[in-house]
Amino acid sequence: MSTLQGKVALVTGASKGIGAAIARELAARGAAVAVNYAGSKDAAEKVVADIKAAGGKAIAVKANLSDPAAAGPLVDSVVAEFGPISVLVNNAGRYEFGPLETITPEHFHKQFDLNVLGLLFATQAAVKQFDTKGGSIINIGSVAAAGVPAGSVYSATKGAVDSITVALAGELGPKKIRVNALNPGMIETEGAHAAGFIGSPFQAKIEAEAPLGRIGQPQEIATVAAFLASDDSYWVTGQQIKVSGGARL
């Protein structure tokens, strides 16, 4: 399948988990992919090696998008290697949970600076160097935007992502750039294991309530991202697409 042949994709936070799966899937469908990472160099290079071994094109590019100054150089590096960008996947993000009484300015800014401000500046930099034919921006949100107990700050960042998606779809439509939010439910990733979600009562609750009866895998997000990246989604913009097996959280 080569639905993305000739396209250049930048996937932020792509060294592991959902981002890595998306990078591999876009490359498998023909895109040249920039695998962004902040600290996991070895993991990012492993993703690039996997893509190249399968006959694809990829590079790893370091940039910590919590720093607004990092976005411009990141995009410049991608364009210098592959040419104008046609797909941006804003996947870089972090989550921390805790009850109301534990919230601190550091807890707030750590999440908002990456999940929201980082997304905005990455998008701002990428749009300046987007393909003149247009393309697709995919913001990785979360069903947690609806609100999760003990996750008010994280939920707020993902609610902001939904709002930004709608706003930018209207703003960038004249440039033929589609903007959608892809909102996963619980996905089995390295981060979910590290946070203690896998095998927890929280996972059991989600699986009991989910129509499809389980949590998801990164690849199940990647295939939807590939559709949104492709020209097959040419009439889809400004949408929040839940990919959660029907689970609300």
Give per-residue pLDDT as tens, 109-123: 999 999 999 999 999
| Domain annotation covers residue 247 | no
Catalytic residue at 234? no
Structural domain harbouring 35: 8-241
Q: Which amino acid is at 200?
A: S
Q: What is the pLDDT of residue 2?
A: 79
| Domain annotation covers residue 248 | no
pLDDT tens-digit readout, 168-210:
999 999 999 999 999 999 898 988 888 888 999 989 989 998 9
> What's the pTM value of the predicted model, to 2 decimals?
0.95
| Domain annotation covers residue 139 | yes
Mean pLDDT by 10 residues, the chain (249 residues): 92 97 98 96 97 98 97 98 98 93 96 98 98 97 92 97 98 98 93 88 91 94 98 97 89
Q: What is the pLDDT of residue 221?
A: 97
214 SS3 class: coil
Structural domains counted in the chain:
1
Residue 149: phi, psi to the nearest 5?
A: -55, 135
Task: Report how far apart, in Å, the C-alpha atoms of 211 and of each of 201, 207, 244, 246, 247 are.
Answer: 18, 8, 9, 5, 7
89 with 119: CB under 8 angstroms? no
| Domain annotation covers residue 85 | yes
Read off the DSSP letter of residue 245.
Answer: T
Read off the DSSP letter of residue 55.
Answer: T
CATH number at residue 151: 3.40.50.720
Q: What is the pLDDT of residue 75?
A: 98
Q: Which residue has the tokens 């807890």?
A: 107
Q: What is the pLDDT of residue 194?
A: 86
| Domain annotation covers residue 1 | no
Which residue in 37, 95, 154, 234 is the catalytic one? Answer: 154
